[in-house]
Amino acid sequence: MHDHAHGRRAIEAMIRSADLGGLLRLAETFHGHLCPFVSLGVKAGQYAMATLDRPNTGMEEIVAIVECNNCFTDGIQVVTGCTFGNNALIFRDLGKTAVTVSRREDGQAVRLLVRPDYREQMFARYPTAEPLFQKIVVQRQGTPEDWHRFEHMWEAIARRELQTPLEEQFVIQHLRIDPPEYARIYDSVLCSRCGEQLMAPRAVGSPAQPLCRVCGQAHYYLLTGQGISEVNETQL
């Protein structure tokens, strides 16, 4: 394969050498800040990719099935290279901090689930962090000084958690799955009202006068921090 196809070469080298610090720095640029659950995503992604031993060029040779839409998932995307944009990130809206990473060619997979007592154990290790977490993250309150102290503390914890043994953080399963089918390539059509282009199967109305779901006032699905919901334009 030509050199231009190896955009992840540096990441693959960090995966092989277990350079968790380097991977976490990359995840920080993607996520915007450091936190313990980004760190967990990095560790889970590195373990899964090293175990499967299959480079990923973004052509769906590796599939990651995440069960949450929180900070953990950003660490997974950076390390595995599976994203919504390359159709290799599958979202199961289960609310569990877990991921299954699979090799498409044979279905070999590893699932990592954050242990139920992880947060409790983490706060036990860093007792001054929990009150600030409750004030800043849960209650969205706190003085500028609180925010500054919390940011530095949360970043330090994220880095320290790289050293915590994996088995203390995760339940790990090795399994074989049937990976989802490859993403389909659909024709495009133009909305007969607004003139914008869209995927043909998302259109409503007649084949002669297709409409986008906004112009056709049809329902669609919306993913936000609250999860997946079914909406139509009149609800926004």
pLDDT digits (tens, 9 = 90+) for 163-207: 999 999 999 999 999 988 899 999 999 999 999 999 999 999 999
What is the dihedral angle through the alpha carbons of 226, 231, 233, 234, rounded to the nearest 10 degrees? -100
pLDDT digits (tens, 9 = 90+) for 77-128: 999 999 999 999 999 999 999 999 999 999 999 999 999 999 999 999 999 9
Rounded to 5 degrees, what angle do the CA atoms 169, 93, 96 make?
15
CA end-to-end span of the chain, whole Å?
47
Beta pairing class for 227-231 and 220-224? antiparallel
**What's the predicted TM-score (pTM) here?**
0.91
Look up the CATH number of domain 3-176: 3.30.1330.130
- Spell out the domain ranges in the chain: 3-176, 188-235
d(CA 110, CA 48): 6
Cα gap 77→69, rounded to integer Å: 11
The beta strands (E) that lie in 170-213 are given as 170-176, 188-190, 197-199, 204-205, 210-211
- pLDDT at position 1 is 45
What pLDDT was estimated at residue 234?
58
